[in-house]
Chain A
Amino acid sequence: MLVVIILAFFLAMVMGFIYIERRGVGRFQVRLGPNRAGPQGILQPVADTIKLLVKEDIVPAKGDKWVHWLAPVITLIPVMMIFAVVPIHDGVGLIPDLDTGILYVIAISSLAVVGIFMAGWASNNKYSLIGAMRAVAQMVSYEIPLVLSIMGVILITGSLSMNQIVQAQSVPFILLQPLGFLIYFLSASAELNRTPFDLLEAESEIVAGYHTEYSGMKFALFYLAEYGHALAMSAIAATLFLGGWLGPGLPSFLWFVIKVLFIFFIIFWIRSTLPRLRVDQLMGFAWKCLFPLALINLFITGAEVIIWEALPWWLVIVNLFIATVLLVLWSKLFRSGREKIAV
Chain B
Amino acid sequence: MLADYGYIGLLLLVVIFFAVTALLLPLTLSFLRLSPKKPNLVKSSTYECGMETVGSSWVQFNFRYYFYALLFVAIDVLTIFLYPWAVNLKQLGLFGLVAMVVFVLIVSLGYFYAWKKGVLEWK
Kindly state whether residue B25 has any CB partner on chain A within 8 Å: yes
Identify the closest chain A residue to B3 (Cβ). Answer: A95
- Contact status A155-B86, CB under 8 Å: yes
Identify the closest chain B residue to A97 (Cβ). Answer: B4
Kindly state whether residue B19 has any CB partner on chain A within 8 Å: yes
Given contacts A133-B62, A298-B82, whether A54 and B56 have CB atoms under 8 Å apart is no
- Contact status B25-A302, CB under 8 Å: no
- Tell me which residues from 59 to 100 in chain B have a Cβ below 8 Å from any Cβ of chain A: 61-62, 65, 68-69, 71-72, 75-76, 79, 82-83, 86-90, 93-94, 97, 100
Dominant secondary structure of chain A at its interface with chain B: helix
B94: A residues at CB distance < 8 A: 306
B4: A residues at CB distance < 8 A: 95, 97-98
- A284 CB → nearest B CB, Å: 7
Given contacts A77-B12, A154-B83, whether A221 and B97 have CB atoms under 8 Å apart is no
- Contact status B46-A59, CB under 8 Å: no
Given contacts A61-B44, A81-B8, A288-B120, whether A137 and B90 have CB atoms under 8 Å apart is no
- A86 CB → nearest B CB, Å: 12
A77: B residues at CB distance < 8 A: 12, 15-16, 19
- A281 CB → nearest B CB, Å: 9
Which segment of A34-42, A123-131, A230-238, A322-330 sits at the interface? A123-131
Given contacts A4-B14, A94-B11, A217-B25, whether A137 and B57 have CB atoms under 8 Å apart is no
Kindly state whether residue B117 has any CB partner on chain A within 8 Å: no
Most buried by B among A59, A63, A147: A147
Using CB atoms and an 8 Å cutoff, list the residues of chain A in contact with chain B: 2-4, 7, 53-63, 69, 72-73, 76-77, 80-81, 84, 94-95, 97-99, 103-104, 121, 123-129, 133, 136-137, 140-141, 143-144, 147-148, 151, 154-155, 158-160, 207, 212-213, 216-218, 220-221, 279-280, 283-284, 287-288, 291, 295, 298-299, 302-303, 305-306, 341-342
User: With the chains together, A31 CA to B58 CA distance in Å?
Assistant: 42
- Contact status B23-A218, CB under 8 Å: yes
Given contacts A57-B30, A155-B86, A159-B87, whether A291 and B75 have CB atoms under 8 Å apart is yes
1/0 contact string of B9-27 vs chain A (CB within 8 Å): 0111011101110110111
- Contact status A124-B97, CB under 8 Å: no
- Contact status B83-A283, CB under 8 Å: no
- Contact status A213-B47, CB under 8 Å: yes
- Contact status A151-B83, CB under 8 Å: yes
1/0 contact string of B21-58 vs chain A (CB within 8 Å): 01101110110001111110101111111000100111
Given contacts A144-B75, A306-B89, whether A81 and B122 have CB atoms under 8 Å apart is no
- A149 CB → nearest B CB, Å: 11
Across the interface, A54 reaches (CB within 8 A) one of B11, B35, B53, namely: B35
Using CB atoms and an 8 Å cutoff, list the residues of chain B in contact with chain A: 1, 4, 7-8, 10-12, 14-16, 18-20, 22-23, 25-27, 29-30, 34-39, 41, 43-49, 53, 56-58, 61-62, 65, 68-69, 71-72, 75-76, 79, 82-83, 86-90, 93-94, 97, 100-101, 104, 108, 111, 115, 120-123
- Between-chain CB contacts (< 8 Å), 18 pairs: A56-B36, A57-B27, A57-B37, A59-B39, A61-B45, A62-B46, A125-B47, A133-B61, A133-B62, A144-B72, A144-B76, A158-B89, A160-B87, A207-B49, A302-B86, A305-B90, A306-B90, A342-B123
Q: A76-B19, A133-B62 are in contact. List 15 more A-B contacts (CB 8 A).
A: A58-B39, A73-B16, A73-B23, A76-B15, A77-B19, A80-B18, A84-B8, A124-B46, A124-B56, A124-B57, A126-B57, A133-B65, A140-B69, A295-B108, A302-B100
B123: A residues at CB distance < 8 A: 280, 341-342
- Contact status A283-B122, CB under 8 Å: yes
B57: A residues at CB distance < 8 A: 124-126, 128-129
A99: B residues at CB distance < 8 A: 1
- A334 CB → nearest B CB, Å: 11
Given contacts A60-B46, A81-B8, A212-B47, whether A305 and B89 have CB atoms under 8 Å apart is yes
